[in-house]
Structure 1
Amino acid sequence: MNDRLGLSRRALLHLSAVAAGSVVLAGCSGGDNQTDGGAGPKGGGKPTSRARKGSRVKPLAVPAKLKESPELAKLVQAGKLPKLEERLPKKPYVVPHNWLEPGKYGGAISTVTSASDSGTHAEFMYGHSLLRWLNDGQDIGPGLVESWESNADASEWTLHFREGLKWSDGHPWSTDDIMFWWNDMVLNTQHSEVPPDEARSGKGTVMTMTAPDALTISMKFDAPAPLTADRLAMWVKRGNGPGWMEPKHYLKQWHPKYNKSVGKDWATDKGLFDQKRAWIRNPDCPVMTGWKCKSYSEGRRVVFDRNPYYWCVSPDGAQLPYLDTLNFNVVQNPEVQKLQAVEGKMNFLFGGFTSLFLSDISSLKQAQSKTKLEVLLWDAGDGSGSLVFFNQDYYEPKMRKLIRNAKFRQALSHAYNRAEVQKAVYYNTGELTTGTMSPKAIEFHVNEEGKKVYKSWRDSYIKYDPELAKKILDEIGVVDKDGDGKREMPDGSKLVVRLDYQADTAPEHLHKNNLLKKDWDAIGIDTRLNPVPPDGFGDQWRFGKLMTNTTWETGDGPNCLVYPQWLVPMESSRWAPLQGEFYNQRGGPNEKKQLDVDPYKRTPPRMDAEPGGPVARLWKIYDQTKIEPDELKRHQLVWEMVKIHITDGPYLLGVVANTPYILLVHEDMKNVPARNELAMGGFAAPWIHPTPAVYDPETWFWTNPDQHTI
């Protein structure tokens, strides 16, 4: 989870390319056919749903008649596999999307990714998740958990799991598998697993978790934990997100608690334990996902085949998945990826895992008659496009003071010709923005006030007005004092603004940086492009040595609080790294240490916020959100934080929000939703809203599966 940092897929994988032109996007959207009701509170507890209409999602009834893959049926007849009703839980999860049609079994997806790590492959599989986001994050539905409830203040949560769940090797699943992860990994200081966000209360303290029986988990917090359900749905568990369960019956043989012959290095990179639990690489490791690893070749190919015990069915009773196999070919070279796409050497592609970008649409469409690959576009849901943010904790005092001057950042924002970047880089897609959290976040749609707050943030410093920018700079003393055409610092010393970026960054960001440099040079700011070796970029940022970051996007959601790092500094990777680290250390063993040491020389580097300043005010409000059980009040607190971004910002200099992500879908493949079939047009950018897993690739099928095999 930690390596994702909440970034969008493009920001993380350096995805995209640059060209000029235009793309016409579909404008309408649909929604999942859900009904109100479902897993409500028990024992008089107050509902804690985060659904936009205040409802939970009612599960569909289990079909009266179930069916399975012909290949599995043969194994049953041969006595090599139990009957279907013995492999499925008592009440399997029925996938509810309204775009689904009955499918056919067989065939394979053959696609490419930029890397062979678990990040891309796990994103196709939601099977380890306790709860599931539906309707582009507007609702939360059941997953492995069949029902759940909390008490009135959301400090106690109870999860009820499906009866009869089984791992892919046929061994019964139980809450022992969760408690094994919790007690023997998370709470075991010898292992690197740490308590995830959903395991902490609003005070930041770790919950107490118990398993009263094989199907029930009890979570007790010392303060309200109102976002627990959201966080149980976010990420893909045992993938980009925290594990939440491990197959105890399989892994205990490499754990010293259960096998005394295991050496002391069991939890290190040299130990077998973590190698064995890596289900993406290890075909022997049991899973709860629709497909399980069949073979893994580092840097070349990963193949998954059907899990005969998968616990999900289609609305007509077909055990999923329909597809026999997923085949991921690793192609790191962007040009080779594009070449394979236009030559039809794949039958599906999600652009979020490759270097395909809007500039490639024309060539992809021209090749469509040959490749049969249709171009679909899903909304990204990001709030910025290629982002620029200054380091509020820059090490040099004079420059840090200027960066923290909101007028300086406001002037540079008004000098930014975003419309030019939108045209040149994003084909006139998306909406111009100052830079915000996701425009799809629930806080900005819950009512008219939320919509107004979002628009105010989006438009706050969006106006392209170089003369206004110059006037503001003049007012704060950033003027050309020596007549060389370049503005100096207020004390007359040289002013240089660096656009720092990783040297291997994508063309999207490079093109934007060049256009931004031109704009800021035009108002007298000496702006310089500064490529930085990728290996050292993160450390330089955390130590305050870099002035800007110019290659990320704000890709979080479906609400502003499940991953609020862009909104409020609380760790060291974003716009106030040392202040964020100071917050991160609160309540920990280092909180009171080294307070007499220079903040930049502390371990880790950290500094307190200025009393009464914007960061201190953001922290105070955010701390209230963590213990506020009333959803509308939490929304209102988010709006208060947004207002600080408006009055004291901008902290995020975006360009366009909600640009599209490309999908290539073979014309013979069905049940892949188009943009107009999705509740909000798609939500493809955030890792915490796992795409395409949320759209259940297990339901996708071939009209002619015999023609689409590996």
Structure 2
Amino acid sequence: MSDNGLSRRGFLYGTAVAAATATLVACTGNTNPGTQNPTSSGAASTGKGSEKEPLEPPATFQEAPALAAQVKAGKLPPVAERLPEKPYVVPHKWLAPGKYGGTMLMPGNEGVDVTQKEFMYGHSPLRWLNDGLDFGPGLAESWESNDDQSEWTLHFRKGLKWSDGHPWTTEDVMFWWEDMVLNEEFAEGIPDEARSGKGTVAKVTAPDDLTIVLTYDAPSPMVPEIIANWVKRGIGAGWMEPKHYVKQFHPKYNKNVPKDWPTAFDAKRNAVQNPDVPVMTGWQLAKYQESLASTYQRNPYYWVVDPDGNQLPYLDSISFTVIANVQTRKLQMQQGKFDFVHGRFAGLVLSDISGLRSTQSRSGMQMTLWDSGSGTGSIFFFNQDYYEPEMRALIRKPEYRQALSLAFNRPEARKAIYYDTGELTTGTYSPKTREFQRGDGKSLYEQWRDSFSKYDPEQAKKMLDELGVVDKNGDGMRELPSGKKLVVYLDYQAEEEPSGEHMQKNELLKKNWEEIGIETKLNPVPNAAWDATWATGKLMSRTTWETSTVSVAADMVWMLPMEPSRWAPLQGQFYAMRGTPAETEELDVDPFKRTPPRMEPEPGGPVERMWQLSDQIRVEADLLKRDKLVADLVKIHVNEGPFFMGSVANYPAIELVKNGLRNIPTRENTALGGFTNDWHYPVPAAYDPETWFWDDPSAHS
């Protein structure tokens, strides 16, 4: 968009919307994130969702022919000896018995580590099921708490083994906890599940080789849900390391390690770069070529089976090829160079559907659409701790943010960017969030979603007038109440893809806000400078994220300032230092000159009240009472927000599947239509790629 309206590029883009929308409707069957007919490469059965209760393991087990040959040659123990006494049985109802063999080819990008970690759930003590509605066992076979939920005990499976055959024990958890997390020199960081409802650090002990006990100084009812978040030893908390291997790189066990040992240790334990490090995932790294490719091969000791007792994974190997240029990546998809493409990682957006659809016969790839589960689509939020006092005071006024929300033409964004899919939203947590799926949760979500999502520029102008944000000098643009120039900066990281959904949304915001007299400028910021500049209050806004969270109570980081990367960074830094000696230091120093910069919330203001509610939520063991507190927290966002501003929620997400690749669910197979965009609910890991198989493995060797 140009200052005077749509550029030629924007005009041509707009004329393509109708045709692309028609293609999307043909794929989905309707204009919402709708149903699509199962393809020949989709799920082999029509079961919906996953069993909530753990499945009993079969009496006998089978293995891949390649492993059976190694057993026969005396290179491996028999399959029953490689599995734990009670292996995890994958509970998905859509699964069909598979065939062993073959490889799966996938695109990677420069964030190749993250791409690969989200594929593998093997290190997690507990796992999410049914799009976050349920969670169940993983490495831990069972768990329980004491009466007030201040102590949690995890019982791990007997007979677990690392990929090199070495026994897994709780020593591997305690190594991570004592020698990495509590080691000040290494500073792994305290994960959320290891803090009590009061925020203090838990006591972690291992009474025996199969039991871990977490003891807190207050009720901590969210522990199991937080443990289920992420993929452990991957994107979220580590939770374990193969002590028998990594201890040789740690000074506690080897006095000859270099002085800068943490750097070397990190490299040696990195399971997506070092093929030597043992894992608990279905595949282990076999070959790593930096910025080029990674190949994984079957882990013969993987502790998971299908309902018939077949040890997983079915596929011999998986391979990621790094293609940094997104357009080259998309071209290779259309040429059929890959077998599975997770659209979120590959940079696919809804405007790609038409091209992908038209090349299906050539690529041999069928398209399936899952729900993204996004609560916002492309997001906008002000920095409520902006360094300039008058602008900061204006940003903190709910009426100002509400006026700008009402001036945003979301129907236009929905049509131009999301092809008339998804739900118009002020900006919320995901509609799939656990709290919104029970009791009065749905109506609470809808109240939040609709609070300031209506397009009403006249009401927006009236609200700005009442705030004294008017055109004082007659230039057609509004000034601050003092008469100073008012400019809203749409800050974004300079490396952001120019044609992506975030930039399209930013251009619409600029157009809409200038139509009500708010001068608006796009402001690219070098990536390297972003974090420090934001945390010190020098940037006005953030425009390239989204929210998508499986549980409010288990992850309140978007609801209130808890750390310095979101909508109130200095207050978030103050929260992060609560309970530490530094909390009471430098209180007589200007907040922007403190080390690090941090700021107390306004007494009685929304942030202080949200902090108080969050403290109650974290210790409330009664589910109904906890949900009531969550509702009170949401209502502050409804009445005094938006603190973050969304556009379109729960738009479809693209998945591409090569013909003949089985057991990949369609939207209809999943409990809530899929949930692709939340890091806490890891996808594809949550759908167990270890169960995927080829109709004809010999054709994909």
Instruction: For 1:307-326, list aligned pairs within 5 A.
Output: 307-326=299-318
Map 1:376-395 → 2, pairs under 5 A: 376-395=368-387
Q: Which residue of 1 aligns with 2:529?
A: 536
**Distance (Å, rounded) in 2 between the aligned partners of 1:33 and 1:440:** 14
Give distance in 2, aligned partners of 1:422 and 1:638. 29
- What is the deviation of 1:33? 5.6
Q: How does 1:677-696 map to 2 (within 5 A)?
A: 677-696=669-688
Q: CA deviation at 1:84?
A: 0.5
Is the counterpart of residue 411 in structure 1 residue 428 in structure 2? no
1:526 matched to 2:525: no
Give the structure 2 partner of residue 128 of structure 1.
Answer: 123
- What are the equivalent positions in structure 2 for 1:161-310 lying under 5 Å apart? 161-267=156-262, 269=263, 271=264, 273-310=265-302
Partner amino acid, structure 1, of 2:596: P
Cα distance between partner residues in 1 of 2:346 and 2:185: 36
Q: Does 1:468 align with 2:450?
A: no
Q: What CA distance in whole angstroms lies between the structure 1 residues aligned with 2:612 and 2:545?
A: 27
Secondary structure of the 2:261 match is coil
Q: Is residue 499–residue 550 contact of structure 1 (8 Å, CA) maintained in 2?
A: yes
Query: Deviation of residue 589 (structure 1)?
Result: 2.8
Q: CA deviation at 1:262?
A: 2.5
Partner SS, residue 310 of structure 1? coil
Report SS of the residue matched to 2:619. coil
> What's the counterpart of residue 655 of structure 2?
663
Establish whether residue 605 from structure 1 lines up as the match of residue 597 from structure 2: yes
Change in Cα spacing, 1:116 to 1:302, as seen in structure 2 (3 Å) is: farther
Structure 1 stretches of 4+ with a deviation exceeding 4 A read 28-35
Of the three residues 468, 491, 495, the one matched with 1:504 is: 495
Deviation at 1:32, TM superposition (A): 5.1
Q: How do 1:422-441 residues align onto structure 2 when only pairs under 5 Å count?
A: 422-441=414-433
Per the alignment, residue 40 of structure 2 pairs with: none
114-123 or 390-399, which deviates more:
114-123
* Structure 2 counterpart of 1:144, from 139, 150, 171: 139
Q: Does 1:546 align with 2:545?
A: no
Could you tell me whether the CA contact under 8 Å between 1:118 and 1:280 is conserved in 2?
yes
Separation in 2 of the partners of 1:92 and 1:358? 40
**1:590-601 pair list within 5 angstroms:** 590-601=582-593
Distance 1:509 1:33 in 2: 32
Name 1:61's counterpart in structure 2: 56
Counterpart residue identity of residue 449, structure 2: R
Q: Distance in 1 between matches of 2:129 and 2:610?
A: 30
The one-letter amino acid paired with 1:583 is Y
**Which range is displaced more, 676-685 or 20-29?**
20-29
> TM-score, normalization: structure 1?
0.92
Match of 1:455 in 2: 446
Give the equivalent residue in structure 1 for 2:4.
none
CA distance in 2, matches of 1:486, 1:116: 42
TM-score after normalising by structure 2: 0.93
Q: Residue 3 of structure 2 corresponds to which residue in structure 1?
A: none
Preserved contact between residue 50 and residue 129 of structure 2 (Cα < 8 Å): no
Amino acid at match of 1:463: K
Aligned to 1:46: none
Deviates most, 300-309 or 466-475: 466-475
**DSSP-derived class of the 1:76 partner:** helix
Instruction: Say whether 1:113 aligns with 2:108.
Output: yes
Cα distance, 1:31 vs. partner? 7.3
Alignment-derived partner of residue 359 in structure 2: 367
1:74 corresponding residue in structure 2: 69
Residue matched to 2:43: none
CA distance in 2, matches of 1:659, 1:589: 45
Q: Which residue of 2 aligns with 1:13?
A: none
- Aligned residues of 1:32 and 1:135 also touching (Cα < 8 A): no
Determine the C-alpha separation between the residues in 1 that align with 2:304 and 2:401.
51
Whole-Å Cα distance in 2 between the matches of residues 33 and 381 of structure 1?
16
Distance in 1 (CA, whole Å) between partners of 2:147 and 2:622 is 10
- TM-aligned CA deviation for residue 63 of structure 1: 1.3
Residues 194 and 32 from structure 1, CA distance in 2 versus in 1: closer, same or farther, beyond 3 angstroms? farther
Structure 2 counterpart of 1:492, one-letter code:
G
Sort the Cα spacing of 1:34 and 1:386 in 2 relative to 1 into closer, same or farther, 3 A. Answer: closer
**Alpha-carbon distance in structure 1 between the residues aligned to 2:674 and 2:250:** 42
Counterparts in 2 of 1:569-584, with a 5 A limit? 569-584=561-576
Question: Letter of the aligned partner of 1:104 in structure 2?
Answer: K
Cα pair 1:410 1:649 within 8 Å, conserved: yes
**Alpha-carbon contact 2:49-2:669 (below 8 Å) kept:** no
**One-letter amino acid matched to 1:105:** Y
Letter in 2 for 1:312: V
- Aligned residues of 1:175 and 1:216 also touching (Cα < 8 A): yes
Aligned equivalents of 1:234, 1:193: Cα separation in 2: 18
- In 2, the alpha carbon distance for the partners of 1:439 and 1:83 equals 46
**Higher mean C-alpha deviation, range 644-653 or range 72-81:** 644-653
Task: Give the whole-Å Cα distance in 2 for the aligned partners of 1:454 and 1:476.
Answer: 29
1:96 maps to: 91
One-letter identity of the residue aligned with 2:161:
K
Please give the secondary structure, in 1, of the residue aligned with 2:656.
strand
CA separation of 1:32/1:220 partners in 2, compared to 1, >3 Å: closer, same or farther? farther
Q: Percent identity at matched positions?
A: 58
Kindly provide the CA deviation profile for residues 531-580 of structure 1, in whole angstroms up to 9, marking residues without a partner as x.
11111112111111111111110122x11122211111111111111111
Structure 2 unaligned residues grouped into runs of 5+: 1-12, 37-45
CA distance in structure 2 between the aligned counterparts of 1:413 and 1:231, rounded to whole angstroms: 32
Instruction: Assess, with a 3 A threshold, how the Cα gap between structure 1 residues 669 and 286 changes in structure 2: closer, same or farther.
Output: same
Residue 475 of structure 1 aligns with an amino acid whose one-letter code is E
The whole-number CA distance in structure 1 between the counterparts of 2:395 and 2:185 is: 42
2:690 is matched with which residue?
A: 698
Q: Deviations over 1:247-269 (max 9, x none)?
A: 111111222222222233222x2
* Contact 2:222/2:554 (8 A) holds in 1: yes
Map Cα deviations across residues 627-646 of structure 1 (whole Å, 9 max, x no partner): 11112211111110111111
Amino acid at match of 1:367: T
The aligned amino acid for 1:286 is: P
Which of 385, 391, 396 is the matching residue for 2:388?
A: 396
Shift of 1:394: 0.6
Deviation sequence 1:256-313 (CA, Å, 0-9, x none): 222222233222x2x3x22211111111110000000001000000100000000000
Deviations 1:645-675 (A, max 9, x none): 1111111111000112211101100000000
2:557 paired with 1:565:
yes
1:135, 1:601 → 2: CA distance?
Answer: 47
CA distance in 1, matches of 2:575, 2:252: 35
Which residue identity does 1:469 align to in structure 2?
Answer: A
What CA deviation, in whole Å up to 9, does each residue of 1:399-426 have, x standing for no partner? 0111111111111111110010111011
Is 1:477 aligned with 2:468? Answer: yes
Counterpart residue number, 2:608? 616
CA distance in 2, matches of 1:375, 1:90: 40
Amino acid aligned to 1:533: P
Aligned residue for 1:51? none
Deviation at 1:499, TM superposition (A): 1.0
Shift of 1:445: 1.7
1:707 aligns with 2:696: no
Q: What are the Cα deviations for residues 131-188 of structure 1, in whole angstroms up to 9, with x where unaligned? A: 0000001101100000110011110111111011000000111111111111111111
Match of 2:340 among 324, 348, 352: 348
Aligned residue type for 1:623: D
Distance 1:550 1:396 in 2: 20
